[in-house]
Chain A
Amino acid sequence: MTIADLLAQLRYSFPHIIVSINGEVITKDFATHPIPDGADVRVIHLIAGG
């Protein structure tokens, strides 16, 4: 599964998102970046909106 797959599954469509995998911040290539099995994945939404 890639980061993009995960975000789509969660319906996380917001454009300002940070993703970290096992503590490493990933900023680009969400479409191809794989998520290893058992990884600690964190998704942070920045503020915008409103």
Chain B
Amino acid sequence: MSDKTTTILAEFAYTPPAVERGYAGQTLYVDVSTPSIAAKPVTEEMKEKFIGGRGFDLWLLWHGVKDGTRWDSPENEVVISSGPCGGITQYPGSGKSIAAAISPLTDVMIDSNVGGHFGPYLKFAGWDAIEVQGKADQEVIVFIDAPGGKVTVEAAPADAPTDTHLLGHWLLEHYAPSADDYPQMSFVTAGTGSEHTRMGCLNFSLYDRKRQDLRYKQAGRGGIGTVLRDKKVKALVVRSFPISGDMNAPADLSKLQAAGASIHKEVATFDPVQNHMRTSGTTYLVQIMDDYDLLPVHNFKFGRHPDTPKIKREVWEELLTQGLPDGCWYGCTVACAHAVDGYEVKTGPYQGQTVIVDGPEYETVAGCGSNCGIFEPWAILEINFYCDTYGIDTISFGTGMAFAMECYEAGVLDAEKTGGLELTFGNAEAALEVLHQMGRGEGFGLIFGQGIRRMKAYFAEHFGADPQFVQDIGMENKGLEYSEYLTKESLAQQGGYGLTNKGPQHDEAWLIFMDMVNNELPTFEAKAEALHYFPMWRTWFGLCGFCKLPWNDVVDPKNKLSPEPQKIMHHVENYRQIFMGVTGREIDYDDIITQSERVYNLQRVLNIRLGKGLREHDAIPYRSAGPVTEEEYLSRQERYDTQLREWLGLNPDEMTLAEKMAAHREYRMDRYEKLTDAVYARRGWTADGVPTPEHLKKLGIDYPDVLAVVEKHL
């Protein structure tokens, strides 16, 4: 058991406070440069205005960074917080953490929502958030030992591995006093891939009592793992107390229990006939997206592929271990966090090892599978395992690889430029070799690991690529790779990806069916209203510690008859009751949106402060709006020709292909600009995307330093 020979570099003694109404009342500040450790109070204003989770991350970052801070500046921070409702066990999906930092990919704040036990355990250990600043001059581990009453920064011994599946076991052995303590331990780690790329993810562990082994959930987006490794932090470790159902000390437990009883019944009744999340997670979306021509195929060129059945839900259901309660936090009856047990690794440094592969989820199957033309489940599992243990985001890897493969097929890359790798669509072995190069920090993997935006510039400068072509096909916005939905026929979702704070991640808004299939958003104003309401509603999950999935992935069919079925108001009411039950604060539906608006707008202002966050930064690559290549146009010619007739009154029979494509481009990009105008107006922003002083005042965040930022842009 505990076998620690580490050197303590800094120590901070404390008595873990009792959590009251969802808050521990203090945040933990760790500067790994000095190193030093301190407690900061959580003020009433923080709770009132920023709630917790992403709101606390933002507040701490706002005060921690400077105007010129970049991802690798010492003052950049890795901040993690769950939220007041994080850690309750009565309602599914109530143990999420939000990790944030200034991103190596976007140079603005990234926030990433993640399961695992770390965030709730951190709170039960006495801290509503952890803020890690500075850069260590040697490898360190930050250890929060609540039962021991201390926080330490320790030198990591040379034998401590870096890749997550090895490091996790090492940490258990060295930091848990005995096997009885394993369930109370949780770690945040990255991996060797995080060290050599900008797309590093964080792994949040949970000790799976049934498997008696560690599992990991990923804060994938935006390179926070890269920031952690840049600080030479090998791991954040928390040892908390044994879990019980009232550790949040809610104001009114009965409200939580009532909401929980109704949702658990709904999940048990309807999941088996709706999405089958309890047997196969989010993979149910693969075939559905293909059916609707929305599954990204070959770098988002197409929306379906004849081989999709090879990677559909039923295939994963066979491979995923069944019958275990796979929630990523206690009490989650949706239990979609599945794993493949006993997987034998086939390539790379861990070839021959038998491991647990966490996932895959829809985004990984679509991104590392269909988008790269890879329809072999073993290859998707292998990429999934190595991305996790190397600390690489599967979405950035998948979308980036799809871009590199199209560049290869278009002649921008060749085997000489890739060091001998034939990066054609479907070549899983070549994709895996790039991944191993990212782990080793060598070869083409180093160029690839910089992300699509920097690959575009590199390919233009060193390989003679046409800058317009790589800009058009490289699916990034703000420097972040797109997540895995085709948006060409949904203007609202083009905005859902582009008109964002952090970049194209679907957790802000997913409006494709409302817009493209139902035509419920026929005007720019209607789209703008949806691009106001849904991003604000979804932001709120990240303030409180909730998972989005139990909101809308399993729903009682009677919801269809409600006045606003898309909002699923009976679930919104559950969340309102839980918030009031935990915090004791009375809120209505408008308050929920206002709480999110404060955070959303301050995050926008932080981006502006960091030199971004304006209209030009919300521009999208043309591939997300329309067909870039003749091949794409011709594959959906009937659709596009009909649109020319109906939308533009043109006769495609009298036009060349080039003229038809040009007409589409002009029309589609003009629409995006008009949508941008409408959304900014609805959000209370100027035409350049800057929150107005009046709007900030209305939200109660017109602090002098906030106003000083926006006033420069009015």
Contact = CB atoms under 8 A, between A and B. Distances in A.
User: Which of A15, A25, A48: most chain B Cβ within 10 A?
Assistant: A48
A19 B275 CA distance: 19
A39 interface: no
Contacts of A15: 273-275
A46 B287 contact: no
18 contacts: A11-B292, A12-B292, A13-B287, A14-B513, A15-B274, A43-B518, A44-B520, A45-B513, A46-B552, A46-B565, A46-B568, A47-B513, A47-B514, A47-B552, A49-B510, A49-B512, A50-B485, A50-B507
Interface in A1-50: 11-16, 18, 25, 27-28, 43-50
Interface residues of B, number: 32
Interface string B416-431: 0000000000000000
Nearest to A14: B288
Interface stretch (B237-245, B553-561, B625-633): B553-561
Instruction: Provide the main secondary structure of the chain A interface.
Output: loop
Contact of B517 (A25, A28, A45, A48): A45
Nearest to A47: B566
Contact of A49 (B274, B513, B561): B513
Contacts of A43: 517-518
Given A18-B560, A47-B513, A11 B291 contact: yes
Contacts of A18: 560, 565
Given A13-B288, A25-B560, A48-B275, 14 more contacts: A11-B291, A12-B292, A14-B292, A15-B275, A16-B560, A18-B560, A18-B565, A27-B557, A47-B513, A48-B552, A48-B553, A49-B289, A49-B485, A50-B485
Interface string B475-486: 000000000010
Contacts of B506: 50
A45 B291 CA distance: 13
B510 A47 contact: yes
Contacts of B512: 49-50
Interface string B291-308: 110000000000000000
Given A14-B513, A25-B560, A46 B291 contact: no
B285 interface: yes
Contacts of B514: 45, 47
A46 B556 CA distance: 12
Contacts, number: 69
Contacts of B289: 49
A40 to B, nearest CB: 15
Given A14-B513, A49-B512, A50-B510, A44 B291 contact: no
Interface of A: 11-16, 18, 25, 27-28, 43-50
Interface in B234-287: 273-275, 285, 287
Nearest to B506: A50
A18 B682 CA distance: 29
Scoring B285, B517, B560 by chain A CB atoms within 10 A of each residue's CB, the highest score goes to B560
Interface string B665-679: 000000000000000
Contacts of A45: 513-514, 517-518
A46 to B, nearest CB: 5
Nearest to A17: B560
Contact of A27 (B291, B520, B561, B566): B561
Contacts of B552: 46-48
B494 to A, nearest CB: 14
Contacts of A44: 518, 520, 565
Nearest to B285: A49
Nearest to A26: B560
A11 to B, nearest CB: 4
Contacts of B568: 46-47
Of listed A13, A28, A47, residue having the most chain B CB within 10 A = A47
B291 A12 contact: yes
B128 to A, nearest CB: 29
Interface in B561-583: 561, 565-566, 568
A18 to B, nearest CB: 5
A47 B510 CA distance: 7
A27 to B, nearest CB: 6
Given A47-B513, A49-B512, A16 B555 contact: yes
Contact of A25 (B288, B553, B559, B561): B561
B217 to A, nearest CB: 18
Nearest to A15: B274
A46 B510 CA distance: 11
Nearest to A49: B510
Nearest to A16: B555
Contacts of A49: 285, 288-289, 485, 510, 512-513
Most buried by B among A18, A45, A50: A50
A28 B560 CA distance: 11
Contacts of A47: 510-511, 513-514, 552, 566, 568
Interface string B631-667: 0000000000000000000000000000000000000
Nearest to B507: A50
Nearest to A8: B291
Contact of B557 (A11, A28, A48): A28
B560 A46 contact: yes
A38 B514 CA distance: 25
Contacts of A16: 274, 555, 560
B668 to A, nearest CB: 22
B560 A27 contact: yes
Nearest to B273: A15
B309 to A, nearest CB: 12
B507 to A, nearest CB: 7
Contacts of B565: 18, 44, 46
